[in-house]
Copies of this chain bind each other. A is one copy, B any other.
Amino acid sequence: MNTMETWLYSLITRTPQEGFELAIVLSQRGGVLYTQPSEEIRELLRPVYSTNADSLIAVSQVIAINFQTVAAANNYWRDPPRCR
């Protein structure tokens, strides 16, 4: 694995939407940045999947899985916490 600068400090976000956007960051990091470190190749791949319906659905699925993690970390932004 590459030694990388710190990019993930916390799973805690102020709002659900920030949590969703963190899930997108996690989805982009996983598999892509770590598996294909070349920015040039990544740029070549982007138009391929961003214009393919099934690829976009697959991206949505990865985001959904990461959003489960982030949402649980934030106790679903329930305030006051119900689960206490």
Chain A interface residues toward B at CB < 8 A: 1, 4, 6-12, 15-17, 20-21, 23-32, 34-36, 41, 45-46, 48-69, 71-73, 75-78, 81-83
Contacts and interface: CB of A to CB of B under 8 A. Distances in A.
Main secondary structure of the interface of A (DSSP, over half): helix
A71 to B, nearest CB: 5
B60 A32 contact: yes
Contacts of A12: 76, 78
Given A24-B30, A58-B58, 18 more contacts: A6-B17, A7-B17, A10-B77, A11-B77, A20-B26, A20-B29, A21-B34, A27-B60, A30-B59, A31-B60, A31-B62, A32-B56, A45-B53, A55-B57, A62-B64, A65-B68, A69-B76, A73-B78
